[in-house]
Amino acid sequence: MGATRSQKRTLIAFCELCIALYTYGVISASYIPSHIEGIVLPLDFMVGIPLGFYILVVRPRRLTLLAIIPVIWIGYGLSVIALGSPNAGMLPYLLAVLIPFELAIAVWECLKVVKVYRSAKAKSEDPVVWFKETMLYLVRKDAPASMAAAELSVWYYALLSWRKKPYVLPGERVFSYHNAGGYMNMMLGIALAFPVEIIGVHVLISQWSVVAACVVTALSIYAAIWLAGDARARVMRPVTLGDGYIRLECGIQMKAVVPFSDIEKVCFSESEINAFAKTDKLNYGTFYQANVWVVVKHPVEVSTMLGKKRVRVVGLSLDNPVALKNSLSEQESRGQ
């Protein structure tokens, strides 16, 4: 905690210093002789501050070098404002040197990203894991990495998964949930209605503004792809029982692996888990109407779209919840 707090303070202090330097440089530009101004400001804004950003922020947090590039371009933009022209002073020469440097960074980092992605793909057959590991390399934080991985996974499942088989490991018994609570029927209904609705809304809004109509249409298409990807993920990532564990899944939204020995009970009614605090429960039932609740003896780690959480109760909607409970009972009796 102390190290994390110290890093946050360092980042805040650096940002405050950068803002102060940027502000001072832009305001004082008119008071500095032009032959000095054209050299000092670009060097400070495009080299000095990015170098400080690397030393104080990127390197301690092991961030990707790509994070430096936006800082360089912010410095370039402020240099142009301060000097009044993109051709002033040494700006053109500095830019000619920095662009190849930025391209080299981009190529280097892209090669590393590809390597991380291939390594993750070799270790797991789960696409969500591929994207999560890749995003963790880029951002180093679980929550943003999880959100980015969910976004990429949606596009993968919506566009590239139609000839793939569900993610089931050898020896696992499958329990589907994509039809529970009428979820898939609702998705099919939306799929039939979406094209007509999108076209109708586009025509209606275009009478007022073509730009607004295009924006609304693009957002509607994005929403349709998102829903299709999540629905497809529910088919491709079933709940499974393996050798000594249960793998809980809910599309791209959640994943948890729980050993049989950690399971306290499986129940079908939410009233049976009222004793647990709200923070100890996650409900991934269809429309929040779970038909099975898995209760564990101590908090278990659950990977969600917003990062990892530790809870004691996970609610799901299964097509056949009774079969899951019976299978778990059979496994327990065999273990005894």
Q: Given this model, what pLDDT does residue 1 score? A: 47
**Same-domain pairing of 91 and 155:** no
10-33: per-residue pLDDT in tens? 667 767 776 776 676 666 655 655
Residue 251 included in any domain: yes
pTM beyond 0.85, yes or no: no
Q: Which of 240-249, 256-265, 325-334 is predicted with the least confidence, judged by mean pLDDT?
A: 325-334
Structure tokens at 273: 């888990």
pLDDT band at 200 (very low <50, low <70, confident <90, very high): confident
Q: Given this model, what pLDDT does residue 8 score? A: 65
**Same-domain pairing of 60 and 95:** yes
Q: C-alpha angle 66/307/300, rounded to 5°?
A: 145
Residue 284 included in any domain: yes
Residue 165 included in any domain: no
pLDDT surpassing 90 at residue 153: yes
**Same-domain pairing of 153 and 254:** no
Residue 167 included in any domain: no
Task: Compute the distance between CA of residue 249 and CA of residue 129 in angstroms, rounded to an integer.
Answer: 13
Contacts of 166 by beta carbon, 8 Å cutoff, 6+ apart:
174, 235, 236, 237, 238
Task: Compute the distance between CA of residue 159 and CA of residue 154 in angstroms, rounded to an integer.
Answer: 8
Q: How many domains does the chain have?
A: 4
Residue 150 included in any domain: yes
**Is the pLDDT higher at 181 or at 29?**
181
Check the CA dihedral 20-21-24-27 and report its sign. negative
**Is the pLDDT higher at 44 or at 152?**
152
pLDDT surpassing 90 at residue 301: yes
pLDDT surpassing 60 at residue 335: no
**Same-domain pairing of 32 and 49:** yes
Q: Which residues pair with 309 in a beta bridge?
A: 302
Q: For residue 312, what are the domain limits?
A: 241-335
